[in-house]
A and B are shown apart, each in its own frame.
Chain A
Amino acid sequence: MAKTLYDKVWQAHIIDQLGEDSLIYIDRHLIHEVTSPQAFAGLNEKSRKVRCPERTVGTMDHSISTRSLAIDACGPQNALQLHTLANNCEQHGIQLFPVGHQKQGIVHVMGPELGLIQPGMTVVCGDSHTATHGAFGALAFGIGTSQVEHVLATQTLKQSRAKSMLIKVNGTLPVGITAKDIILAIIGRIGHAGATGHVIEYAGEAISGLTMEERMTVCNMSIEAGAKAGLIAPDDTTFEYLKGREYAPKGQDWEDAVAYWKTLYTEEGASFDTVVELEAADIAPQVTWGTNPGQVIGVDAPVPGPDDFSDPIEKESAKKALGYMGLSAGDKLADVAVNHVFIGSCTNGRIEDLRAAAHIAKNGKVVDSVTAIVVPGSGHVKKQAEAEGLDKIFTDAGFEWRLPGCSMCLGMNDDKLVAGDRCASTSNRNFEGRQGRGARTHLVSPAMAAAAAITGRFADVREFQE
């Protein structure tokens, strides 16, 4: 029977069949300060060891300052968590990239740029945006802390096979439309829980034409559609990205690895539980209007109202979301004023994202009523951006240029908003209170965020294209 990419990666990792569950091997485990301390404490309580310390890599990202390299810059509790991670990594022989290290970064930016993530791997992390790594054709998913402990102790997880979903994006992307717009349009189509219980494979001309960084943006938000994971088949774009990276195979190993990676694709005639198709030509720059990522529209569409939904639950959700967001049915996003802009996160904190934002930012100045921050995804991204002079473009235009971290995506540090603030954000969640209690988040692409900074509203980025 013809196999999907997911079938191949899944079957290659089965150690044992335990009834309807499989015990699967985990090739790569990423950890950070927030979801790992209780896992290490659990190991220590039972005097258990980390089975394969070399397969786990740690970084500090969630609860660190983006203004200071001091570990206690965000208070004693955050500092305790960071020290705990450092102590746990030291005690168990795990490689850690702490604050200030050149390789430190948001866990899902750091891993790929070091070549730690390779096609066909299983990758887990105590973070739902682990789906990012599916861009390499790796089966990557977020786990809870009890599972982090299980992976540390056994290098395995018990898992049930998920259902499969094919999402095809046909045709070529119109000018001004980005990977972020693709994934938001997909979530808008299938809904915030549309892929629950599924592993998505993204395919089609518009997907295979994306760079690796763009593919990571698409896969990153698979979880916002409820998916277990999102995959893209590896191809020459993938191999070219990986070649020469620090942890990528070298010499004969590289040749052997590529030969294997080339077998990782969905075979002709393989069947999926669900198939969804979109036309790239239909996608406009996306902006969320509500409080979940499925509540999204093209920037030129009117804000919907409860009456636009037939499902009573969606109707009620729309009513509540509009109330929280301070919007009304029929509002034009082009008239909605923002007072904060956040460019960064594991969704859109990579060098290509910063280039796209700088390309718009150089056309103007951040308007007086807006505070705009740019937070590179890692030490590498920061260094590269500075080498290209992007930091200068941003600061000249009135953006703040910060240190790498998760920052205002979730506001575990002091980068947070207050009630009533309205933010154009390149992050991944527009939940109530996500960026600060009572604050309103609109998810957009980096170019749209930069355009919002220099116009003070949701300007259509297509108007900025030469």
Chain B
Amino acid sequence: MSNSIQGFTAHTGSAVPLDQANVDTDQIIPKQFLTGVTRAGYGKHLFHDWRYLDLEEKVPNPEFSLNKPEFAGASILLTRENFGCGSSREHAPWSLNDFGFKTIIATSYADIFYGNCINNQLLPVALASSEMDALFAAVEANPALEITVNLPEQTVSFGETSFSFDIADHHKTNLLKGLDAIGQTLELTDKISAYEAKQPVWV
């Protein structure tokens, strides 16, 4: 569902590491799975090329972190810089959501992907490189580590450690309230009409 009306406040769960920079959306959800006409059911194809050794998705790749038993049930994805680069396909956040991720923690994100996450109630948290190093090390030491991401407070905490993160106010509001973005804009219809009335005829 687009423009979900559920809000995001805080989430506590375990994390799975994907210790790699520049993970692109082709890798998150390859093209052969983009032929759907609904928003549902993409989770099983998430990271297909890395996650499965075969095209039919019957043989999991035991080396890939998402398949390792110690990370089963993880609801937080840890990764590195420029996550979600490339194609604008919203199937990327749909597949991450459908798999069960509630939040991603990375060094940085590509712009279109970041916006797509916000529009799908998937919180993209950006932390400094050194903080990511600490988080990766903590999860490696204890895969069951409970991590709490608190949106109102803008913090990521685990054990005795707590990091704060930045997020634009309007993104934060949209995630907290789960607003219907289209419904909000439709309330401004008079202003849109007034703008249209002033446009030159050739546009």
Contacts and interface: CB of A to CB of B under 8 A. Distances in A.
A128 B88 contact: yes
Nearest to B52: A437
Main secondary structure of the interface of B (DSSP, over half): loop
Contacts of B201: 253
Contacts of B181: 146, 150, 158
Contacts of A260: 200
A128 B39 CA distance: 19
B86 interface: yes
Given A127-B88, A154-B192, A80 B82 contact: no
A84 B22 contact: no
Contacts of B111: 196-197, 226, 228
Contact of B116 (A37, A144, A292, A434): A144
Nearest to A248: B202
B119 interface: yes
Interface residues of A, number: 73
A317 B22 contact: yes
B35 A145 contact: no
Interface string B85-118: 1111110010000000000000010111001100
A413 to B, nearest CB: 10
Nearest to A21: B170
B141 interface: no
B186 A128 contact: no
B80 interface: yes
A65 interface: no
Interface stretch (A11-19, A231-239, A374-382): A11-19
A426 interface: no
A433 interface: yes
Interface string B1-28: 1110000000000000000111010110
A18 B80 CA distance: 32
A74 to B, nearest CB: 9
Given A77-B35, A433-B49, A128 B86 contact: yes
A256 interface: yes
Given A144-B115, A146-B116, A193 B108 contact: yes
Contacts of A20: 168-170
B82 A193 contact: yes
A81 B2 contact: no
Contact of B21 (A18, A126, A254, A317): A317
B26 to A, nearest CB: 5
Given A37-B37, A42-B3, A144-B119, A19 B170 contact: yes
Contacts of A126: 88, 90
Given A142-B112, A192-B82, A412-B31, A48 B88 contact: no
Contacts of A77: 35-36
Interface residues of B, number: 56
Contact of A145 (B2, B49, B108, B182): B2
A155 B189 CA distance: 10
A25 to B, nearest CB: 5
Given A153-B186, A253-B202, A256-B200, A292 B170 contact: no
Nearest to B49: A433
A196 B108 contact: yes
Contacts of A48: 182, 186
Contact of B34 (A34, A41, A150): A34
A460 to B, nearest CB: 28
A250 B120 CA distance: 43
Nearest to B87: A128
A322 interface: no
A361 interface: no
A412 B32 contact: yes
Nearest to B117: A144
B130 interface: no
Nearest to B89: A35
Contacts of A410: 26, 31, 87
A75 to B, nearest CB: 8
Nearest to B118: A146
A318 to B, nearest CB: 11
B55 interface: yes
10 contacts: A20-B170, A23-B191, A38-B39, A46-B182, A144-B88, A153-B185, A226-B82, A253-B200, A433-B27, A437-B49
Given A20-B168, A196-B108, A249-B202, 10 more contacts: A25-B195, A37-B36, A121-B203, A128-B88, A146-B2, A149-B182, A150-B182, A154-B192, A197-B111, A431-B26
The 10 closest A-B pairs by CB, nearest first: A249-B202, A146-B119, A144-B116, A37-B37, A144-B90, A142-B88, A193-B82, A77-B35, A145-B90, A253-B202
